Amino acid sequence: MFKALILGAAAGGGLPQWNCGCENCNLARTGQIPSSTQSSLAVTMDGTSWVILNASPDIRTQISANPGLHPRSLRDTPIAGVLLTNGDIDHVAGLLSLREGQPFSLYATGEIHEVLAANPLMQAVNPEHVPRVPIALDEPVTLLPDLTATLFSVPGKVPLYMEGETVQTDLEGEQTTGVHLQAGGRDIYYIPGCAAVTDRLARRLRGADMVFFDGTLWRDDEMLAMGLSHKTGRRMGHISMSGRDGSISALQDLGIGRKIYIHMNNSNPVLRPASPERAEAESAGWTIGQDGMEITV
């Protein structure tokens, strides 16, 4: 049976974010709403061997918080692999916490492997113990027995640290990908970063059994209106939940079995259980992901 474990439901910075005094962060600090670590998902077929989707900077804490990921002997891990969907800091920095010579496979597109190889810090994750496994787009690879993954392009942009003077936020290539997991005849999708739901993406997701989807912002100008940033969600390469072009509307009529938001920014009002925005998302059939949430298919 396929099981997904949400290790971290928040976007970069987590909730509360270390330097943020917004309403959500203050509520999380006082325990009035749940805290969240940075975006990551663990998947398994047997509860014994796991693959981590994106290695967040909080991965050490996430492993400690979930007994199924603990060592079973003196030097051991049930983590068989890590798969990256892009090169964002909040998805790759956790690799540096996995540098103690423990074998596992590192899966990503060729372009993302090149980005990691160009960073001297990432050589601390010794390739002799952690083989780099390049994945071509739209070509399935076996992650675990009875579990395959296919990476596919979704609209997005290059990581922040690679931006130049001109930034294209709707690139489709190897730099921003979604994951199609196939297990026991079920189709599960993991898309933590996405700038728009194109017709091609909508066709791909139609009839899926489960979709974990980018929930960064409720509205495009959310962070501007709150005085937290000068960037819109679109400029950051993330589709909003609400609005005519938002993900709630775009995925509403695709016959998806279960829809779960992950990668939510600390500013997003859906993080408050009593907010009208949370009620609107849930009435549209969405689950708001939380750290430690387990979902089986």
Number of structural domains (the chain) is: 1
Which structural domain range is residue 190 located in? 3-291
Domain harbouring 185, CATH code: 3.60.15.10
Determine, yes or no, domain membership for 296: no
**What's the rounded Cα separation, in Å, for the pair 255 and 10?**
26
**What's the rounded Cα separation, in Å, for the pair 42 and 32?**
27
Can you give the pLDDT at residue 286?
Answer: 98
Determine, yes or no, domain membership for 64: yes
**What's the rounded Cα separation, in Å, for the pair 60 and 94?**
8
Element (H, E) at 205: helix 199-205
Can you give the pLDDT at residue 91?
Answer: 97
Q: Average pLDDT by consecutive 10-residue portion of the chain (297 residues)?
A: 97 97 98 98 98 98 98 96 96 97 97 95 94 98 98 94 86 95 97 97 98 98 93 92 97 98 98 98 98 96
Can you give the pLDDT at residue 170?
Answer: 87
Can you give the pLDDT at residue 166?
Answer: 85
Select from 27, 121, 90 the least CA-distant residue to 216.
90
Can you give the pLDDT at residue 254?
Answer: 98
Residue type, 146: D
Can you give the pLDDT at residue 161?
Answer: 87
User: 0.95 cut: is pTM over it?
Assistant: yes
**What's the rounded Cα separation, in Å, for the pair 282 and 39?**
20
Can you give the pLDDT at residue 138?
Answer: 98
Q: In 46-176, which ranges are E strands? A: 50-53, 79-83, 105-108, 132-134, 141-144, 147-153
Residue type, 211: V
Could you tell me which residues come within 8 angstroms of residue 293 by beta carbon, excluding any fewer than 6 positions away? 5, 6, 9
Give residue 198's region: left, alpha or beta (phi > 0; psi -120 to 50): beta
Whether residue 16 is preceded by a cis peptide bond, meaning omega within 30 degrees of 0, is yes
Determine, yes or no, domain membership for 68: yes
Q: In the chain, which ranges are E strands? A: 3-8, 40-44, 50-53, 79-83, 105-108, 132-134, 141-144, 147-153, 177-183, 186-191, 210-214, 258-262, 286-288, 294-296
Determine, yes or no, domain membership for 297: no
What does the radius of gyration of the chain's CA atoms come to, in whole angstroms? 18
